[in-house]
Chain A
Amino acid sequence: MTLPFLVILPLFGAFSMPIVSLLGKKLKEYWAVIISGATFAVAAKIFYTVWKTNEIILYTLGSDNPIGRGVNFPIRIVWEVDLFGALLALTITFVGFLAIIYSLGYMKHDTGLEKYYTLVLVLELGMLGIVVTGDIFNFYVFLEIMSIASYALVAFRNDTWEGIEAGIKYMFVGSLASSFILLGIALLYGQYGTLTMSYLAIKIAENPTLVAKVALAFLIGGLLFKSGAVPVHMWLADAHPAAPSSISAMLSGLVIKAGGVYAIARIIFSIFNPGLHTYLRTFNAPAINMDVIGWVIVFFACLTLLVGNAMAVVQTDMKRLFAFSSVGQIGYIMLGIGIGVLAYGTRAGELALAGAIYHIVNHALIKALLFLVAGVVIHEVGTKNLNELSGLAKRMPLTTFFFIIGAAAIIGLPPLNGFASKWIIYESSAMYNPILAAIAVVGTVFSLAAYTKVLFTFLGKESERVRDAKEPEKSMLLPMLILVVAIIVMGLLPWQISDKIMIPAAKMLEQLNGEYILALLKFIGGA
């Protein structure tokens, strides 16, 4: 059983870091690289297993059976990993590994690095926990582990005013959002007396009360905050520019996905399954109207992708621009999820979900690359103001090349990976409602304008500031190179990846036959 090692390894790495760092200066950095590399290998193994067998892995903590002795309901914490979770675990460990390699060069001039590497591993641990868990309180604990590590990492450079400011802002509103989520969980527990997601799904279907709806509202509200959806995106635009760039890459590529859109999708599809409730309604049984949730998510998605991309156009700070672009891209992912709920069980709904999952992975890679590029620029030139940066291309040709690939991929130009995922989202939204597709296209137009602006600052006449810039060291170039290769290779095989991985992942998430619940039920009924 390899699944527990996904959490054990980073946990072990984080807790041994203070001791390892006593042994030598360089050792702690290599230790972090080794640990995150091993975690990546474990995630790859789990992903391969789930993909090969196409079955949900159910793992019980402390026993081999989640059902208590003498009772017929689950009493233990279970982890349930479907293809969606496994895919995200793979993405998280991959980007996390690259961000840690990048930190070797990037964080060289900072102090307190043993704390830094501990926090990075804890951040990774939190995200991995979120994507594997099948217990809603366990989910909350991992969400808080992730959130607290990211508060600390945003404010890691505590001698800069913006790090502290962004950290405080993020922490205060983030804690409020977390308390909403906890309140939602408490309401569900009070009403149904269980915390296991799949068992909760059965209980809610048996007796959908007002409390369940209120709890759902609290959960969605809190998680929309964590994903940076528009009315509550203000923390993101401050936190991403203020954090060290290796952390921005993880925050933007992973944290808002794992703690935000993944969790929304998981709660909607695994606890409040739209199919189950539509089925109940056909028998005139009481059920929750999931279309309302679908429209709420689509509404916020449209708002997010318009505002996020439009705000990106007017920024003069490079990392802030990327941060707003992340908000915009979250809009596309949420649009996919929203349509997946609304058009549940149809071809359009399945495509939309597959597009959303695909875009989560693609955006994680692309945005990690872009933030690493921004980190290189800050590291070498010392400013991220686009008005002062001009003509970087001459002194830093490789970095410029990486940026061009990243920018082209995020706009969605055909030979790169962003094209296929955005195309699937456009196509499915056009199938469901052409107005939504039109809104999505308008968002892309803004995003094109924003990145063209940055491109023109990379090219153009050399400014005084960049005259003695040079390429960074190899440990910073290598992760970017790997990401570029991944982006190009994924871009060359878009429909194969979509058919072999994303559509099956969407099917498993959609669970038309209640597979997520059945994975637990087979322990209960003895069947």
Chain B
Amino acid sequence: MTIVYLTLGLIAIYLYVSSASLLWEGIDRKLVARMQRRMGPPILQPFYDFLKLVSKESIIPRDANKLFEIAPVLALASSIALLAYTPLGFEPLLATKGDVIVFIYLLGLIAFIRVIGAVSSGSPYAQIGAQREIIMLASREVPMMLGLFAILWRLSKLGVEKPFSLGTFYQYNIWEIGTPLTIVGTFVLLIVFLLWLASEIEVGYFNIPEAETEVAEGPMAEYSGRHLALFKLSNALKEFASASLVVAIFFPWGISGYIGLTGIAAMVLDLVFHTLKVFAVLFVSMSVFRAITGRLRITQAVGMFWSRILPMSLIGVLLLVIDVLGVIA
């Protein structure tokens, strides 16, 4: 029976997260428009876009191979699988010890499938976009993994039942430790994660692979119709899942405990509260960042990751480590 419940839960989460993430896209577009003194589209615009794309004819380039058509499906499938490992205000559905690696793997896999789809299209624009995407992928994951593993390692010292699971954030959170070094270190890591989130969803400085004006949508150059719709949806899911990770690490508090709810009602309430927190994080990392910064060149972005963000992550991690090992009392 657990398998049946898990499947039903996953379907429910999938439906919820797809509507929530598309809703956020609408809010984001509205907010950015207001920041630029425009009216902007209606809040539900992404839903209309999605339906329109689904109903449009999908054009397959002459040079494309089978993977061109399979890649959007695979990308969506990996995003849905990712949801089963995403903390959404409560423990992930398939929380188990070490599931953080699956989370990172699936997140990377979605980007990689996009690249495969792009390369399979045979278009040079898509090829350039794909190369940039791979370069960004290789640069951005290192500081994130370093920070994530350090925090999980720190939490596992507190005696959790499933070490290195994303579920541990709901048992202990990193602020609880409360020593000055940890707080400073966590704060540094928070900045790292906000920058990572911006590059993961490719906005602001890091809108490089998709750069509309330079390489005509990059990896997505040849996609149209329902294939594009699938990619847009999987991107929206990925956006939500990445932001959920940041929320779970740094702001895992729920409100159901204060009200005294339990069971399903508590889960629903926590999910809604979690969604609000995700929107708040995305507001900082996506809307504001997108509105106030321009795009970097690919070399500058890679340089920024390796020479600014990685050292920043290292400093944050070292502060956590020094605190645990008690080098300075």
Contact = CB atoms under 8 A, between A and B. Distances in A.
A394 B105 contact: no
B51 interface: no
Interface stretch (B14-22, B114-122, B320-328): B114-122
- How many interface residues does chain B have, given as a range? 10 to 19
A397 B66 contact: yes
Contacts of B105: 413-414
Given A393-B67, A460-B120, A460-B122, 15 more contacts: A393-B65, A393-B66, A393-B120, A394-B66, A397-B66, A400-B65, A455-B116, A456-B119, A459-B65, A459-B67, A459-B116, A459-B119, A460-B119, A461-B124, A462-B122
Contacts of B67: 393, 400, 459
Contacts of B122: 391, 460-462
A257 B126 CA distance: 42
A414 B102 contact: yes
A394 B65 contact: yes
A414 B64 CA distance: 28
Interface in B114-140: 116, 119-120, 122, 124, 127, 134
6 contacts: A391-B63, A393-B120, A452-B134, A459-B65, A459-B67, A460-B122
A428 to B, nearest CB: 15
Contacts of B63: 391, 394, 461-462
Interface of B: 63-67, 102, 105, 116, 119-120, 122, 124, 127, 134
Listed residue (B63, B65, B66, B119) with the most chain A CB atoms within 10 angstroms of its CB: B65
Interface string A445-477: 000000010011001111000000000000000
B102 A391 contact: no
A385 B122 CA distance: 20
B146 to A, nearest CB: 13
Nearest to A414: B105
> What's the dominant secondary structure at chain B's contact region?
helix
A315 B92 CA distance: 43
Interface in A357-393: 391, 393
Listed residue (A391, A394, A400, A414) with the most chain B CB atoms within 10 angstroms of its CB: A394
Contacts of B66: 393-394, 397
Contacts, number: 35
Contacts of B119: 456, 459-460
Nearest to B109: A413
Closest 3 CB pairs of A and B: A393-B65, A394-B65, A461-B122
A391 B65 CA distance: 8
Contacts of B120: 393, 459-460
Interface residues of A, number: 14
A460 B124 CA distance: 9
Contacts of A393: 65-67, 120
Listed residue (A414, A455, A456) with the most chain B CB atoms within 10 angstroms of its CB: A456
Interface in A414-436: 414
A393 B117 CA distance: 12
Contacts of A459: 65, 67, 116, 119-120
Contacts of B127: 460
A459 B120 CA distance: 5
Contacts of B134: 452
A311 B22 CA distance: 46
Contacts of B64: 394
A460 B64 CA distance: 8
Nearest to A392: B65
A461 B121 CA distance: 8
A461 B64 CA distance: 8
A394 B120 CA distance: 9
A211 B248 CA distance: 63
A400 B127 CA distance: 19
A526 B124 CA distance: 77
A431 B63 CA distance: 49
Nearest to A460: B119
B65 A397 contact: yes
Nearest to B130: A456
A393 B120 CA distance: 8
B231 to A, nearest CB: 17
B292 to A, nearest CB: 35
A49 B29 CA distance: 67
A391 B102 CA distance: 31
A380 B116 CA distance: 24
A29 to B, nearest CB: 33
Interface string A393-409: 11001001000000000
A356 B295 CA distance: 47
Contacts of A397: 65-66
A461 B126 CA distance: 11
A394 B64 CA distance: 7
Contacts of A455: 116
A413 B116 CA distance: 16
Contacts of A460: 119-120, 122, 127
B138 to A, nearest CB: 9
B223 to A, nearest CB: 15
A414 B102 CA distance: 8
A461 B120 CA distance: 7
A394 B65 CA distance: 5
Nearest to B118: A459
Contacts of A461: 63, 122, 124
A459 B64 CA distance: 9
Interface in A3-22: none
A474 B204 CA distance: 52
A400 B68 CA distance: 13
A401 to B, nearest CB: 8
Nearest to A395: B65
Interface in A167-193: none
Listed residue (A397, A459, A460, A462) with the most chain B CB atoms within 10 angstroms of its CB: A459
Nearest to B63: A461
Contacts of A391: 63, 65, 122
Nearest to A390: B122
Contacts of A413: 105
A102 B26 CA distance: 56
B304 to A, nearest CB: 21
A501 to B, nearest CB: 23
A456 B116 CA distance: 8
A521 to B, nearest CB: 44
A490 B114 CA distance: 27
A456 B134 CA distance: 12
A455 B118 CA distance: 13
Nearest to A419: B105
A116 B247 CA distance: 64
B235 to A, nearest CB: 21
A459 B124 CA distance: 13
A456 B122 CA distance: 11
Contacts of A414: 102, 105
A413 B105 CA distance: 9
A400 B65 CA distance: 10
Nearest to B112: A452
Contacts of A394: 63-66
A86 to B, nearest CB: 32
A204 B116 CA distance: 57
B149 to A, nearest CB: 13
